[in-house]
Every structure is written in structure tokens, then in C-alpha cells.
């Protein structure tokens, strides 16, 4: 099992645009055997220590195999809405892990 944590930083004022993208993309995870384990919107009070500002969202997703994660990323419906992601996301920090 593979795990992916995303720290998602949104361009100021583009939250609704990003939410539109997620409304399409997140339901597709299950189509590729994945699971959205957590989707968190932390506020500044949730951080004890750190550099910079808090991410808009933190996602933890799992996929049984790398090929499932790759297929999700290439989904045609997701691809048709990726312009919303590109317009709204400042940066994403992706952390990959595995069950040991």
C-alpha cells in the first residue's frame, strides 16, 4: 500500500476555484482503487511550529499500487478540469510513503 500526503497551498482568493476542481477530482480516487483517508483544512491555531503559512488543505490518500496512482493522475475527466487546479494552486508538497 502506498500513501501520499499533500500539503496544498492556494493562491489568495482562489479557494472557490480550487474547490471546483476538487469536486470533480476527489470522487475519482475510488475509481482507481484509492482512498481519501483524510482531508483537513487547518487554521493557524493548529500549528505549534513551522515556517511560512499553513497549507489550505492537507490530504492523505492511499493507493494499492503505483499504477493506480498514475492512472488517477491521467484520468480524462480530471484532466479536463486540471486548468482549475493550475489557476488556483500556488504549490503542492507531495510526500510519498509506504506501509512497513
Domain boundaries, the chain: 2-98
Could you give the CA distance from residue 98 to residue 10 in angstroms, rounded to a whole number?
27
CATH assignment, 2-98:
3.30.70.100
The residue-averaged pLDDT of 74-78 equals 97
Mean pLDDT of the chain: 94
pLDDT at 14 over 80: yes
How many Cβ atoms from other residues are within 10 Å of residue 4's Cβ? 17
Amino acid at each position: 500500500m502506498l500513501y501520499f500526503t499533500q500539503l496544498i497551498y492556494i493562491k489568495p482568493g482562489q479557494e472557490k476555484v480550487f474547490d471546483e476542481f476538487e469536486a470533480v477530482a476527489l470522487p475519482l480516487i475510488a475509481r482507481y482503487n484509492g482512498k481519501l483517508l483524510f482531508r483537513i483544512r487547518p487554521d493557524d491555531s493548529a500549528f505549534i511550529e513551522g515556517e511560512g503559512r499553513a497549507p489550505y488543505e492537507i490530504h492523505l490518500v492511499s493507493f494499492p499500487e503505483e499504477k493506480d496512482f498514475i492512472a488517477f493522475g491521467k484520468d480524462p475527466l480530471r484532466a479536463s478540469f486540471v486548468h482549475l487546479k493550475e489557476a488556483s494552486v500556488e504549490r503542492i508538497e507531495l510526500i510519498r510513503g509506504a506501509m512497513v
